[in-house]
């Protein structure tokens, strides 16, 4: 991809540009419809009907009613959604409303029940059961359970097999509905299936799914799909769903082009092939670098969990930030997420190639090698001194200094740090460079 200055980057994070940035077929479809009509006419346009049909064909039969929107309703714009998203409310005043219950993330690497547990799926699902019982004991009812089918912002977590089936059983038993968020992980990203929830087996079908991002390849297009029963319950409340921009004819033309491209270019097959190859390369890196604690993922949805200590699995947050900025200098775009922001996220456009994967891993290898060498040196120098400035220093700043120290020593020995450095930081900076 190119930035606004025409510089080329390898995009490893953009799950919106699903079929590739500026795909000519997407551009053509948008342009063609733009020349005809780009507005809601209050009557059903053929494009929206056609799109709904094509979308339904990818889903289990019971998910047949589509509500088109222009956003996946980010947990951040509406107070009602901030309230149900720990990812958001924990970044604010961290006040959890009494009607919200947060289940532990089914993370078998760093979570409560790990890979050595005999049945982590049941153990994590039992946590949900317990929450439901506690809610009932305090006189509450359960309306819904919402989760991403694979947690992206949560740190590229793939729930253990059988977890969702059990959770759905408990939630349904309590009269609630199961909402699967497919905004980041839908549209064939996992390769083996079109929707991530389908990986969990045919016996698991959510009651509501939300989708967005890749749907319009960057064009604002999103949708909520649900069952007839739930849609009827909603309409019988007297509430009419209306959205000015949701499902406009251009968006639907774009969406149809995206569906065609996924199929015609076998992008699901590509996700499997390239995803497997990339995972293989990354596992070799894991054997080489102590900073890599875990590689997990499926298709083109992969996480690299960076740790300070492989035994304790201590999240290497500052190191992850350092890596993503260094990767950007190498013209590779990555991001870090998860509760500790230490998991490097890989979710590239689905046309990502084996060559791209190799290039990305080679750059990562180089950066981790230099970083690990420097961290070894840093540990020695820091341990040897006990000045107050070292204790006050946030880890991010350590890494910033380390970053400069690496750049200085490798690329320009005479370069001085510019800007932010106070005197005491300069002292530390000097120490780190020795």
Q: Token pair for residue 333?
A: 């775009």
Q: CA 42, CA 136: separation in Å to the nearest integer?
A: 44
Q: If you search the block for the tokens 């690497």, which residue do you land on?
A: 109
Contact status, residue 30 vs residue 254, Cβ threshold 8 Å: yes
**C-beta closer to ligand PLP: residue 153 or 350:** 153
Instruction: List 294's β-bridge partners, or say none.
Output: 305
x/- map, 140-179, ligand PLP, by CB under 6 A: --------x---xx--------------------------
Out of 11, 107, 181, 319, the residue judged to bind ligand PLP by CB under 6 A: 181
Shortest spacing between CB 251 and ligand PLP, in angstroms: 12
Residue 250's φ and ψ, nearest 5 degrees, are -70, -45
x/- map, 56-95, ligand PLP, by CB under 6 A: ---------------xxxx---------------------
Shortest spacing between CB 72 and ligand PLP, in angstroms: 3
**C-beta closer to ligand PLP: residue 58 or 71:** 71
Q: If you search the block for the tokens 């690329």, which residue do you land on?
A: 411
Task: Give the count of residues interacting with ligand PLP (CB under 6 A).
Answer: 12
x/- map, 356-375, ligand PLP, by CB under 6 A: --------------------
Confirm or reject binding of residue 337 to ligand PLP (CB under 6 A).
no
Going along 124-170, which residue ranges are E strands?
144-148
Shortest spacing between CB 308 and ligand PLP, in angstroms: 27
x/- map, 187-226, ligand PLP, by CB under 6 A: -------------------------x---------x----
**C-beta closer to ligand PLP: residue 335 or 369:** 335
Would you put residue 39 in left (φ > 0), alpha (ψ -120 to 50) or beta? Answer: beta
Q: CA 377, CA 372: separation in Å to the nearest integer?
A: 9
**C-beta closer to ligand PLP: residue 324 or 357:** 324
x/- map, 91-130, ligand PLP, by CB under 6 A: ----------------------------------------
Q: CA 165, CA 174: separation in Å to the nearest integer?
A: 14
Shortest spacing between CB 264 and ligand PLP, in angstroms: 26
Q: Token pair for residue 399?
A: 């890494």
Q: Token pair for residue 432?
A: 């780190």
Q: CA 389, CA 423: separation in Å to the nearest integer?
A: 10
Contact status, residue 302 vs residue 380, Cβ threshold 8 Å: no
DSSP letters spanning 256-283: HHHHHHHHHTTHHHHHHHHHHHHHHHHH
- By CB under 6 A, name the binding residues for ligand PLP: 71-74, 148, 152-153, 181, 183-184, 212, 222
């Amino acid at each position: 991809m190119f930035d606004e200055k025409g510089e080329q980057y390898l995009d490893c994070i953009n799950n919106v540009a699903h079929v590739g940035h500026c795909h000519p077929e997407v551009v053509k479809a948008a342009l063609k419809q733009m020349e005809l009509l780009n507005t809601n006419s209050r009557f059903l346009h053929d494009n929206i009907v056609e799109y709904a049909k094509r979308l339904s064909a990818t889903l289990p039969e019971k998910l047949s009613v589509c509500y088109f929107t222009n956003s996946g309703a980010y947990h951040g714009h509406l107070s009602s959604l901030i309230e149900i998203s720990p990812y958001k409310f924990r970044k604010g005043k961290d006040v959890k409303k009494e009607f919200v219950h947060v289940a532990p993330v089914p993370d078998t690497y760093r979570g409560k029940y790990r890979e050595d547990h005999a049945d982590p799926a049941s153990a994590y699902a039992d946590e949900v059961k317990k929450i439901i019982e506690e809610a009932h004991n305090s006189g509450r009812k359960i309306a819904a359970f919402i989760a991403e089918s694979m947690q992206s912002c949560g740190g590229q977590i793939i729930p253990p097999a059988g977890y969702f089936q059990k959770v759905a059983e408990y939630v349904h038993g309590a009269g609630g509905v199961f909402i699967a968020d497919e905004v980041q992980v839908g549209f064939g990203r996992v390769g083996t299936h079109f929707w991530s929830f389908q990986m969990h087996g045919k016996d698991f079908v959510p009651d509501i799914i939300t989708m967005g991002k890749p749907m319009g390849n960057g064009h604002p297009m999103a949708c909520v799909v649900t069952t007839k029963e739930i849609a009827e319950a909603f309409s019988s409340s007297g509430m009419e769903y209306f959205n000015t921009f949701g499902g406009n004819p251009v968006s639907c033309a774009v969406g149809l082009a995206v569906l065609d491209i996924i199929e015609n270019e076998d992008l699901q097959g590509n996700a499997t092939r390239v995803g497997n190859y990339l995972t293989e390369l990354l596992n070799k890196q894991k054997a080489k670098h102590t900073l890599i604690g875990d590689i997990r993922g499926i298709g083109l949805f992969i996480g690299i969990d960076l740790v300070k200590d492989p035994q304790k699995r201590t999240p290497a947050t500052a190191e992850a930030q350092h890596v993503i900025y260094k990767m950007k200098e190498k013209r590779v775009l990555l991001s870090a997420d998860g509760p500790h922001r230490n998991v490097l996220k890989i979710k590239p456009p689905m046309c990502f190639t084996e060559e791209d994967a190799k290039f990305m891993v080679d750059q990562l290898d180089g950066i981790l090698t230099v970083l690990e060498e420097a961290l070894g040196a840093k540990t020695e120098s820091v341990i040897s001194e006990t000045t107050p400035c070292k204790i006050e220093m946030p880890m991010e700043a350590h890494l910033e200094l380390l970053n400069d120290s690496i750049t200085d020593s490798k690329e320009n020995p005479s370069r001085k740090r510019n800007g932010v450095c106070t005197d005491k930081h300069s002292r530390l900076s000097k120490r780190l460079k020795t």
